[in-house]
Each structure stands twice: as structure tokens, then as C-alpha cells.
Amino acid sequence: MKKCYSEEQIFRAIKQHEAGTKVDDICREMRVSSGTFYNLLS
């Protein structure tokens, strides 16, 4: 089952990443794998 993330969640994650938050911390908060996170960035 594919889970969809709102644009708001994706933008917040990108902003956190640009601000210097570690990818692992963002992934833990969003409950996604690092691979999924990098797919959201692209």
C-alpha cells in the first residue's frame, strides 16, 4: 500500500534538510526510509 504525503509535509522536510537537520532525524519524524526521503526530494 502506497502512502501519500501532503505537499506541506514534503516542503517542511525539504526546508529542514536545507537548514541542516540530519536526514536520519527527518526520516524518523516522518516514519520513512532514507530512500523514500531522497525520492521525495527528486
pLDDT tens sequence across 24-39? 999 999 899 999 888 8
- The pLDDT score that the predictor gives to residue 12 is 93
Neighbours of 13 (CB within 10 A): 21
Domains in the chain: boundaries = 7-41
Between 21 and 4, the higher pLDDT residue: 21
Coil vs helix vs strand at 2: coil
d(CA 3, CA 16): 21
pTM, rounded to two decimals: 0.76
